[in-house]
């Protein structure tokens, strides 16, 4: 275990008695043992003394894909967790879109075993249906017992309403959560970009906002009928925001997330036909981007995800309509967010992922486990290829302005620094 003294760190943690104060923090054997204005250097302790150092409760990313097992050429669990640590995340929820799909307890145990002894903790999401094929429910109860935190088919909407209904009813027996990606496949058709002015100019088949909103509305109706817990990931339209806001006002147990690229970029960036910007849901027009930012600020959107999805060059560097959807996002997450949102909101939404998935989130005070993200807030820079730590390089943020930098994390008794 690394013994650490963090010098002159501004604590951003509304649940801590030291919120917004600049303090020294002493960490022994993975536990915070002292928080004072000044702590003397101690033999055997590593000292972190960086100008403008800030710390918060550890961040969580609610949607990452690592490829392993089956797609190790895209990313491995070991390297993926190291990337997450250097990107400021002490926890990640791993999507089940590997090969084989994480749809049984053996697969859940496999990925947990591969994630042992890492600074960043991995939480598996089990597939909702066998093979994520949308036909039969997977072994949900067994996966929950093996360590799965929720159940959903990554980027695949369950088109069968009755199956979605049964899933919402079934998981209540063991306090499970259903993750429902929302997209009506018949309305999406062969669409590859947001349906609007840009797609029309470019001659691209459009994906209407209605494709998402119709499924959001259906799933919220089902939730009202069944009860239980529903998480709607990566919403991207103004109609989805309105529907979820109304459902929350009714008292339904629904949460939602937004992908960072949908908050920062709009569909005008597609004018160069660069497939790095092909994502699902697609980048929307500027008015919707602004509405998503507003929904984060007002609290309708509960958490923010990088929706990190590594894809190798053979899948990405193709004609726009043939390229696979997805971008990596861990390395650029914090720097991109700080260009559009206040710091406390970012910290709240990145730590709020843990609340959504009922994961312990210790505050920064004496006696608590040290589960901490370290970062600065002032530096302006441009995200370049040298900043990519993932095996795959498919970043939609290359050339984008960033603000602030991640220093690293302290978690599970380990200090990981981004240098």
Quote the CA–CA distance of 325 and 217 in Å, as a whole number: 24
From its phi and psi, is residue 3 left (phi > 0), alpha (psi between -120 and 50) or beta?
A: beta
In terms of C-beta density within 10 A (0-12 exposed, 13-18 middle, 19 or more buried), how is residue 245 classed?
middle
Quote the CA–CA distance of 63 and 70 in Å, as a whole number: 18
Q: What is the per-residue pLDDT for 412?
A: 97
Catalytic residue among 136, 307, 312, 371: 307
A 10 A CB-CB count for 208 gives 18
* Statement: residue 202 has pLDDT above 80: yes
Mean pLDDT of 50-79: 97
For 389-401, the pLDDT digits (tens) are 999 999 999 999 9
Mean pLDDT of the chain: 97
Quote the CA–CA distance of 81 and 89 in Å, as a whole number: 9
For 348-401, the pLDDT digits (tens) are 999 989 999 999 999 999 999 999 999 999 999 999 999 999 999 999 999 999
Decide: 99 and 69 in contact? Cβ < 8 Å.
Answer: yes
- The residue count for the chain: 419
Q: What is the per-residue pLDDT for 419?
A: 75
Closest to 258 in 3D by CA, of 219, 208, 297: 297
Helix H or strand E segment including 256:
strand 254-259
The residue written with tokens 């984008």 in the block is 400
- Domains recognised in the chain with CATH numbers: 4-54+366-417 (2.30.40.10), 59-356 (3.20.20.140)
Q: What is the per-residue pLDDT for 115?
A: 98
For 236-280, the pLDDT digits (tens) are 999 999 999 999 999 999 999 999 999 999 999 999 999 999 999
Sheet holding 150-151, edge to edge: 59-64, 89-94, 121-126, 150-151, 178-179, 230-232, 254-259, 303-305
A 10 A CB-CB count for 386 gives 6
Report DSSP letters for 35-56, one per residue.
EES-----TT-EEE--TT-EEE
Residue 294 makes CB contacts below 8 A (sequence gap 6+) with: none
Quote the CA–CA distance of 277 and 279 in Å, as a whole number: 6
321 is catalytic: no
Decide: 223 and 230 in contact? Cβ < 8 Å.
Answer: yes
Looking only at the bridges linking them, the beta strands covering 230-232 and 193-194 are: unpaired
* Statement: residue 71 has pLDDT above 80: yes
Does the bond joining 287 to the residue before it have cis omega, within 30 degrees of 0? Answer: no
Mean pLDDT of 320-329: 96
Question: What is the model's pTM?
Answer: 0.97
Quote the CA–CA distance of 186 and 158 in Å, as a whole number: 12
Q: Is 303 helix (H, G, I), strand (E, B) or coil?
A: strand
A 10 A CB-CB count for 385 gives 9
Quote the CA–CA distance of 68 and 365 in Å, as a whole number: 36
């Amino acid at each position: 275990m690394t013994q650490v003294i963090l010098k002159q760190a501004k604590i951003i943690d509304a649940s801590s008695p030291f919120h917004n104060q600049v303090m020294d923090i002493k960490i022994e054997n993975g536990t915070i043992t002292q928080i004072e204005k000044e702590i003397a250097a101690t033999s055997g302790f590593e000292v972190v003394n960086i100008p403008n150092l800030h710390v918060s409760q550890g961040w969580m990313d609610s949607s990452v894909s690592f490829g392993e097992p089956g797609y190790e050429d895209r990313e491995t669990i070991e390297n993926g967790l190291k990337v997450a640590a250097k990107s400021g995340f002490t926890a990640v929820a791993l999507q089940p879109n590997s090969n084989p799909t994480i749809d049984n307890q053996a697969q859940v145990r496999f990925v947990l075993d591969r994630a042992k002894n890492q600074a960043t903790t991995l939480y598996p999401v089990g597939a909702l249906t066998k093979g994520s094929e949308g036909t039969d429910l997977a072994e949900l109860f067994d996966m929950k017992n093996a360590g799965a935190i929720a159940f959903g088919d990554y980027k695949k909407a369950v088109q069968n309403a009755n199956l979605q209904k049964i899933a919402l009813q079934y998981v209540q027996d063991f306090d499970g959560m259903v993750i429902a990606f929302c997209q009506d496949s018949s309305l999406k058709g062969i669409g590859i970009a947001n349906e609007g002015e840009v797609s029309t100019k470019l001659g691209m088949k459009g994906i209407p906002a209605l494709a998402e909103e119709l499924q959001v509305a259906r799933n919220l109706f089902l939730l009202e009928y069944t009860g239980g817990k529903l998480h709607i990931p990566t919403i991207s339209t103004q109609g989805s925001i309105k529907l979820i806001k109304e459902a929350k006002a009714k008292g339904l147990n629904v949460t939602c997330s937004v992908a960072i690229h949908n908050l920062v970029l709009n569909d005008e960036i597609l004018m160069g036909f660069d497939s790095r910007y092909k994502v699902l849901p697609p980048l929307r027009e500027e008015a919707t981007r602004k509405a998503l930012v507003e929904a984060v600020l007002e609290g309708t959107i509960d958490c923010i995800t990088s929706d990190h999805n590594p894809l190798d060059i053979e899948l990405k560097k193709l004609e726009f309509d043939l390229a696979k959807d997805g971008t990596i996002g861990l390395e650029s997450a914090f720097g991109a967010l700080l260009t559009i949102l206040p710091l406390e909101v970012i910290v709240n939404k990145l730590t709020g992922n843990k609340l959504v998935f009922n994961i312990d989130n210790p505050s920064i005070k004496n006696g608590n486990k040290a589960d901490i993200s370290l970062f600065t807030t002032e530096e302006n820079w441009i995200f370049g290829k040298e900043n990519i730590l993932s095996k795959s390089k498919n970043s939609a943020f290359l050339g984008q302005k960033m603000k602030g930098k991640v220093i690293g994390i302290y978690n599970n008794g380990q200090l990981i620094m981004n240098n």
